[in-house]
Amino acid sequence: MSNLSPRRSKRPGRGGAEPTPAPPPITPGMVGGQYQPLTGSEMERIHQLVLRLLEDLGLSQVTPSLEQRAIAAGCRVDEDGRLRFPRALVEDVIARTRRRFTLHGLDPVHDLEIGGRRVHAGTGGAAPTIMDFVTGRYRESTVADLYDIARLVDRLDNIHWYHRSVVARDTDTILDLDINTTYACLSGTTKSIAVSYTDGNSVRAVQPMLDMVAGGEGRFRERPFCTAVCCHVVPPMRFATESCDALEAAVLAGMPILLVAAGQAGATAPAALAGAVAQACAEVLAGLILCNIIDPNCRGIFAAWPFVSDLRTGAMSGGSGEQALLSAACAQMAGFYDLPNSVPAGMTDSKLPDAQAGGEKGYTISLAAHAGATMIHECAGMQGSLMGTAFESYVLDNDLLGAVLRTVKGVEVSEDALSFEAIRDVVMGAGHFLGHPQTFARMKTDYLYPEIADRRSISEWQDAGARDAREVARGRVRQLLADHYPRHISDSVDARLRESYNIVLPKARMRAGNGIW
């Protein structure tokens, strides 16, 4: 891979000895699963319905290629043209599919171990608009916005990957959209990226790009750092023909694949939450079975993403309590199957990074994390029920994600943490713990300190200008985007990419001092 920054070495202490670093209060992949909205018997009932849906109802509109593979594996097509999955095959695929794998970053320092209820958080979505940083009004999103958001995410520690969160409206064709989206994501961050590919042609077109960035032909497959996001179904219970072509191409290319079923409860999924969960699980398993038929060693991610309708209007409500429950229940069902998984959370209905947004993001992300979601998508930056995004939201949400992940880590109960010796020292001595060695030792290992949230006294805050959190976040955005222009792709590789593809983003826009920020 070209010019990737090495993992930073630790500076030796006095006398040349390298100090042992204190473990941080949070890390990617802490284990969740303490919150369980479903009982064991309820999960079993949902599972039995999932098997019934796949065997007795099946899915329509499968592509000829996948139909041929599925029939060879034991599926059948009924008189209505629906592909039905026998229970034995479904349970066999669940039993043999990969339960753990590495989601690679462009830089290995950002590799993530996916599976086993290890919780990670990242971006996602397909917002067609973004709040302009200068005017404060929503406008159509662009390739440059994709790149700038990637640069932000690259510097925000609690956002673990970058799944493109806006649709570049300044591209002319679907192929140009997918190529330029991949390029902007790759150029802006060394974290793992994900792109929603809409057909197989796009997947096949970007394969040489991914290889070039990885260091040569075939190198991407060795460390696949780009996930194909595939909405392979059109709920209820129909395959999406073009996306199924993308599914097949992505698996053959060795890409991790996020298998998304995104029905909307009360519209394209049952209004009853249990039914919405079951339908989503069945639709995702149908895609996972097809992936495993193509390649039994594929990196499939179980992404049951049922959304919520406000039944008064039919509009999506991403920040509702019902959405929090749906996502947590889907995470729990994925845990029931012991599959690497993803759920959506943090999709506030608020159009601004305000109190409504903070509340809705807080409880939806918290429930998903504590239910043990392997990957929580769309939990950073999204506004307006996924229809918009805002730069300052990523900075604010990075703070929120840190606090949520700290709650996932939980309370340590060890001999030292129980603190008898420390209590005895203080009771018999100074009468307070402020100067005790344990307090100093645990200051950085047990406690997380926000970057944006303000903990000063009222008087100190007022004397410093009385800025609210959004204003502080805007300052941080300006600082990051003015200075942080990643250079992990060499100029020579970038030149080859630009010779090979119709890249929309000007090279001059990717350097400091361009006058934009």
Per-residue model confidence (pLDDT) at position 18: 64
Q: Which of 246, 149, 152 is nearest to 207 (CA)?
A: 246
Per-residue model confidence (pLDDT) at position 218: 95
Q: What's the pLDDT tens digit per position in 334-379?
A: 999 999 999 999 999 999 999 999 999 999 999 999 999 999 999 9
Instruction: Tell whether 1 is covered by a domain.
Output: no
Instruction: Tell whether 418 is covered by a domain.
Output: no
Per-residue model confidence (pLDDT) at position 19: 66
What is the domain extent for residue 211? Answer: 25-410+449-517
Domain tally, the chain: 1
Instruction: Tell whether 196 is covered by a domain.
Output: yes
Instruction: Tell whether 185 is covered by a domain.
Output: yes
| Angle made by CA atoms 394, 399, 404, in degrees to the nearest 5 | 115
Per-residue model confidence (pLDDT) at position 9: 40
pTM for this model (two decimals): 0.94
Instruction: Tell whether 400 is covered by a domain.
Output: yes
Sign of CA dihedral 384, 385, 387, 392: positive
In CATH, what number is assigned to the domain containing residue 308?
A: 3.20.20.480
Rounded CA-CA distance 311/266 in Å is 7
Instruction: Tell whether 13 is covered by a domain.
Output: no
Residue 258's contacts (CB-CB under 8 Å, 6 or more residues apart) are: 163, 194, 227, 228, 229, 230, 301, 303, 342, 377
Q: What's the pLDDT tens digit per position in 373-398?
A: 999 999 999 999 999 999 999 999 99
Place of tokens 């990242």: 122
CB atoms within 10 A of CB 18: 10
Per-residue model confidence (pLDDT) at position 515: 83
Instruction: Tell whether 16 is covered by a domain.
Output: no
Q: Which of 228, 157, 242, 236 is nearest to 200 (CA)?
A: 242
Q: In Å, how far from its chain's centre is CA 112?
A: 11
Instruction: Tell whether 216 is covered by a domain.
Output: yes
Phi and psi, residue 302, nearest 5°? -75, 100
Per-residue model confidence (pLDDT) at position 306: 97
Give pLDDT < 70 ranges for the chain.
1-19
Per-residue model confidence (pLDDT) at position 192: 98
Question: Angle of helix 391-409 relative to helix 143-154, nearest 10 degrees?
Answer: 40
